[in-house]
Structure 1
Amino acid sequence: MSSKITIIGAGSVGATIAYTLSQRSIASEIVLIDINKDKAEGEVMDIEQGTSFREPISIVAGDYPDAADSDIVIITSGIARKPGQTRIELTQTNVNIMKSITPEIVKVAPKALYIIVSNPCDIMTYAFAKLSGLPENQILGSGTALDTARLRCRLSQHYGVSEKNIHAYVFGEHGDTSFVPWSRAFVAGATLDEFDKIVHEDQKDLQPLDREEVLEYVHTSGSTVIAKKGATFYAVAVSVCRLCSLLLAASDTIVSVSTMLHGEYGVEDVCLSTMASIGPEGVKRIVRVPLTEEETEKLHASANALKDVIAQIDL
């Protein structure tokens, strides 16, 4: 596939995305940009020395002009939360980084599709949308794509079936107010209640699904991995690479990613994750799957939590 993907940020997440892309047939050109040029050059040197074991691919450590004609730009830049730092302080710091990046990259790659991975993802996606002036269809945040993968992983473990048989999603912010619309969760075409009964016929000792435990698993997976190994980057890299392949595919796919909402479910002027149809033209539409009244209220609560943070930062 002849495509060019630029990654801004050569930290653990950005470098792992670059490595994962280099092992797949998604991009023929990869550009890695970081304010620390030695770090970017070191990551590229390490990665490119392994590309001789696959079809030829170009991977370079560059600067913004090298991103010209990119099909996709992935932004991962930002700093981790420091001890004693409030969420607002962290958000403002990373928004300020986004302010410095946005005009530089948009100037050279105005037609690219943008995937925002930097945290807090939804607010950074919102900030990029406001700062860039690009059409909103060119912008999406990785949002709950990873949360959804974590959800399906846990459901797969519980039921002992492939994650490919599971259609369940996480909505809302990529954070503590995210939730699972259980009314939209299915396994092999059956609702979870129906599938519980089906499985119980053969596995009498299988405990009923604890939905609160599953949501807790989704919410705490990131912090658990960080506590055990210091950072999370493998799963997020794979999820972002999948988004790249979907954006370059021949037809659209419906996924849970962060996009700007304009009245869908009664939510306005904020980026968060619902179902969106994405493909070669970027974000084509929000797919308004029916939600229960309780689920709609949870979506509003998530949107309001994000808006509270946005109101306290300088865009």
Structure 2
Amino acid sequence: MTVEKTKTRKVVIVGTGFVGASYAYALLNQGIGSDLVLIDLDKERAEGEARDLNHGMPFRSPMKIRAGDYDECKDADMVVITAGANQKPGETRLDLATKNAKIMKGIVTQIMKNDFKGIILVATNPVDVLTHVAYDVSGLPKERVIGSGTILDTARFRYLLSEYYQIDSRNVHAYIIGEHGDSELPVWSHVQIGGVPLKKYGCMDDVAEDPDMKQIFENVRDAAYHIIERKGASYYGIGLGLARLTKAILYDENSIITVSTLFEGEYGIENVYLGIPAVVNENGVREMIELDLNKKELNELHASAKILREMTEKVLE
């Protein structure tokens, strides 16, 4: 589906906490977009972030940055949602999903009241479930409601592999797919370094059983926990990931990025948002990349989908 382009390269961010502010800073620092609006329930916070960012303008390309409200969504190319509650001690992931689903419904309703015709990008956790909520409430086509998915998990995976093998991370090609969370999985069968399969770099023939590779994946999966233990929250990595995704959309790059998108029979999976490599351009998700997964990987992806489908059904009730 072709979306009428506004040609403004305008981005609205809903939520100016750590993630939203880090994302806004990444956009400014990389010169992505031309018009940036910050929305937050705490209007003074949004105003403060806008002022702080504007004071860096002499060091970067010109960009209009301001605090605003939902009426700014009318002519925006993208609305990026980072707002939501954090998980409290003793709270389950379902508790968090239920709480944030209510917040998400309210935000998306406000966005759509203003005749929004662009792309919604969701980063609030649990991101796969909440992206499905945004899709359900917005009424937009599935390709225009995208979650940040496993973009950060994939980046962590590539980085840790690059550290292990002492290779530039930009030359490591690997994916984490499925849930952005505990049931995610590494696609070992498709890991390559400079086009060379990983098992040729001295791993066991069954890469997934190599102790060092197992440790790398565990460090990827548990990275957020490790960061939160040390500094309270994780936000720089996802801020940069969201900026990368925004650039692919605003500049019509047709880039392959691991985003959360709606499955409609791909891999034998129906009606659930999951992280998967997809081609992303100005219209959102152009198409999903269907990797030739081995049996173990496919089973793990189906298990991840089952967990997310059950959680999504509960919050959509």
TM-score bucket of the superposed structures, by smaller chain: over 0.9
How much has 1:310 moved relative to structure 2?
1.9
Letter in 2 for 1:181: V
State the partner residue of 2:295. Answer: 293
Percent of matched pairs sharing the same residue: 39
Cross-structure match for 1:210:
212
Question: Shift in Å at residue 89 of structure 1?
Answer: 1.3
| 1:304 paired residue among 287, 303, 306 | 306
1:115-168: per-residue Cα shift (whole Å, max 9, x none)?
A: 110000000011111111001111110010000000001000000000111110
Q: How big is the shift at 1:109?
A: 5.1
Match of 1:135?
Answer: 141
- Code of the residue aligned with 1:196 in structure 2: it is G
Question: d(CA) in 2 for partners of 1:174 and 1:104?
Answer: 26
Tell me how far 1:181 sits from its aligned partner.
1.0
In the aligned structure 2, how far is the partner of 1:244 from the partner of 1:274? 17
Mapped partners of 2:125, 2:148: distance in 1? 10
Aligned-partner SS, 2:279: strand
Partner of 1:205: none
Deviations 1:67-100 (A, max 9, x none): 2211111001101011222221111110000111
Equivalent residue, structure 2, for 1:70: 76
How far 1:47 sits from its partner (Å)?
1.2
- Measured after TM superposition, the shift of residue 291 of structure 1 is 0.5
> Which residue of 120, 123, 131 corresponds with 1:117?
123
Question: Residue 214 of structure 1: CA displacement?
Answer: 1.1
Instruction: Tell me the TM-score normalised to structure 2 length.
Output: 0.93
How far off its partner does 1:52 sit?
Answer: 2.2
* 2:37 counterpart of 1:31: yes
Checking the alignment, whether the CA contact within 8 Å between 2:149 and 2:276 is kept in structure 1 is: no
SS in 2 for 1:77: coil
Q: Once the two structures are superposed, what CA deviation does each residue of 1:233-287 show, in whole Å capped at 9, x if it has no partner?
A: 1010000000001112243111111000001011100000112111111111111
Q: Secondary structure of 2:31's match?
A: coil
**Maintained 8 Å contact 2:179/2:274:** yes
Cα distance in 1 for partners of 2:100, 2:134 equals 11
Question: Equivalent of 1:176, from 179, 182, 192?
Answer: 182
- Following superposition of structure 1 onto structure 2, how do residues 1-315 of structure 1 map, counting pairs within 5 Å? 3-108=9-114, 110-196=116-202, 210-315=212-317
- In 2, distance between residues paired with 1:251 and 1:16? 23
Cα displacement (A) at 1:311: 3.0
Assess if the C-alpha contact under 8 Å between 2:33 and 2:250 holds in 1. Answer: no
- Do the aligned partners of 2:128 and 2:260 also contact (CA within 8 Å) in 1? yes
The answer as to whether partners of 1:126 and 1:270 remain within 8 angstroms in 2 is yes
Number of residue equivalences: 305
SS in 1 for 2:218: helix
Q: Is the 8 A contact 1:196 1:209 kept in 2?
A: no
Note the residue ranges of structure 2 that are not aligned, 5 or more in a row: 1-6, 204-209
CA deviation after TM superposition for structure 1 residue 54, in Å: 2.0
Contact 1:114 1:140 in 2 (8 A): yes
Amino acid of the structure 2 residue aligned with 1:51: M
State the match for 2:4 in structure 1.
none
Deviations 1:27-65 (A, max 9, x none): 110000011111111111111111122222110100001
Q: For the residues of structure 1 that align with 2:170 and 2:265, how far apart are their CA atoms? A: 32
How far apart in 2 are the matches of 1:17 and 1:88?
26
* Distance in 2 separating the partners of 1:36 and 1:15: 13
Q: Which moved more, 1:265-274 or 1:245-254?
A: 245-254
**8 Å Cα contact 2:9/2:33 also seen in 1:** yes
State whether residues 70 and 109 of structure 1, in contact with CA within 8 Å, keep that contact through their aligned partners in structure 2. no
